[in-house]
Structure 1
Amino acid sequence: MSLTASHRPPLVEEVTAKLRALIHSGEWPLQQRIPAEPELMAALGISRGTLREAIKALAHSGMLDVRRGDGTYVRATSEISGAAQRMYQDHSGEHILEVRVGLDTQAARLAARHATAGDIAAMHELLAARRVAWLAEDFSTWASADWDFHLMVAKASANPLLHELYVSFGVVFSADLLRQQRRKGFDGLPHEGHGELLEAISARDEAAAVESVTRNLNSCAEWLRE
């Protein structure tokens, strides 16, 4: 008796996996609209019903955001990130920051241990782009470069699960950063928490990396309490 047919996953699961891979790989970027239904149906050779079931599954997991009359957008790069983003809506900024303390300090410690020369070079480039954007008063680009720097630190930790969890903070982090930017006297280019952290990672100094992150997050906590 042949078992080949019974081992093939249902078509909806197969299509869901293909769409998930497009999101996870970055081929479908975050916050961008995915191709229209007719294009996807033709590319995948599937019916509208099958496609909609797959999209529904990814929307339920938090990876896609279906906007009636506008299309479907990428909301998160994984189910973990999508679920976390939904959870953050139910918690205070202070609670979210307390969780970040654990992730950030561990990411900094591991990055100081594992970061490659390429990782460090990328961090330098992001801080340079962050500086240029701030001085040009391009605050959206400044916030993106700031967040990408933190993401690179998490990636340099060489722990893919930690990096994936950290990615889920993106929307919350960027919104908080832009709110801080609007405060009178806010310094968008502090050496502490960024330059110092990069110096510690470059020097393979795990203790200094953790200390830098702790100071930076303590400053964020003070801002939340004001």
Structure 2
Amino acid sequence: MQPVRRTSLIAQVTEQLRAEIRSGRWAVGSRIPTEPELTELTGTGRNTVREAVQALVHAGMLERRQGSGTYVISTSSLGGTLSEYFADAQQRDLLELRQALDTTAARLAATRRDETDIATLRRLLEDRTRFWDNDFDAAIEADVQIHRAIVVASHNAVYLEFYDSLLPVIAAGIRFRSEQDGATYHDEHAELVQAVVDGDPDRAGRVANCFLDSLMAEYRTLDTNSE
């Protein structure tokens, strides 16, 4: 970001923050820079930055978390509304929706991915594996970003907008399942990424579908045991 002119400062800073989110430089689920950092980046005062951040909180794009920071929860105000709706949805319904979304996204990604997409997927897969045993939070974040990166590789902006609204509940579901059964799913993620990288849409769709099938089966088992 660049220092802004001293006119309509709050609006300008708000638009710069929005641009960082929409571009993906601040990914859904990630924590944005602190107020002092944003003050330095934009060349504006702390009150201006605070008001700009608050505007995006009201728009449903950011969320303040006490003692942790401010996080991206959507790439648009519409996505924020959808995120609120999905937050109250049943896990079974969300998994069934993901099965449709992730399978189609994997097929599209295998057809349309470019070298940047491939590099991103390989890096995220490496991060997920490397962090799993020593930085669980980072591993979960990498896991979530792998699934998002596949949607990014589909090069369908509408698809990505909708999927981003699901990311907070997807992240919560991944964390919950990992804490419950300790399964790593390293092989499944590696196979999915490789199918996309290889440009094999049939295999990518099949792997994604099988992976979500296994998650659905696991959900049914956990749901039965909780009764």
TM-score band, normalised by the shorter chain?
0.7 to 0.9
Q: Is the 8 A contact 1:64 1:72 kept in 2?
A: no
Match for 1:129: what amino acid? D
Question: TM-score, with normalisation over the residues of structure 1?
Answer: 0.75
Question: TM-score, with normalisation over the residues of structure 2?
Answer: 0.74
Q: Could you tell me how far 1:33 is from its partner in structure 2?
A: 5.7
1:222 paired residue number: 217
* Number of residues of Structure 1 aligned to a counterpart in Structure 2: 211
Q: Is the 8 A contact 2:60 2:74 kept in 1?
A: no
Partner SS for 1:91:
coil
2:225 paired residue number: none
1:187 paired residue number: 183
Following superposition of structure 1 onto structure 2, how do residues 189-208 of structure 1 map, counting pairs within 5 Å? 189-192=185-188, 194-208=189-203
Gaps of 5+ in 2: 1-7, 222-227
Q: Following the alignment from structure 2 to structure 1, what is the Cα–Cα distance between the partners of residues 148 and 192?
A: 13
Q: Following the alignment from structure 1 to structure 2, what is the Cα–Cα distance between the partners of residues 63 and 20?
A: 8
Q: Is the 8 A contact 1:75 1:82 kept in 2?
A: no
Describe the shift of the 1:24–1:44 C-alpha distance in structure 2 as closer, same or farther (beyond 3 A): farther
1:154 paired residue number: 151
Q: Are positions 1:142 and 2:139 aligned together? A: yes
Q: Could you tell me how far 1:164 is from its partner in structure 2?
A: 2.6
Gaps of 5+ in 1: 1-9
Match for 2:31: what amino acid? Q
Q: Could you tell me how far 1:122 is from its partner in structure 2?
A: 2.5
CA offsets 1:165-199 (integer angstroms, 9 cap, x no match) = 22223222222222222234x3304422x222223
The structure with the largest alpha-carbon Rg is 1
1:3 paired residue number: none
Find the partner of 1:166 among 131, 143, 163: 163
Identity %: 32
Q: Could you tell me how far 1:52 is from its partner in structure 2?
A: 7.4
Q: Are positions 1:83 and 2:78 aligned together? A: no
Q: Is the 8 A contact 1:108 1:153 kept in 2?
A: yes
Q: Could you tell me how far 1:204 is from its partner in structure 2?
A: 2.1
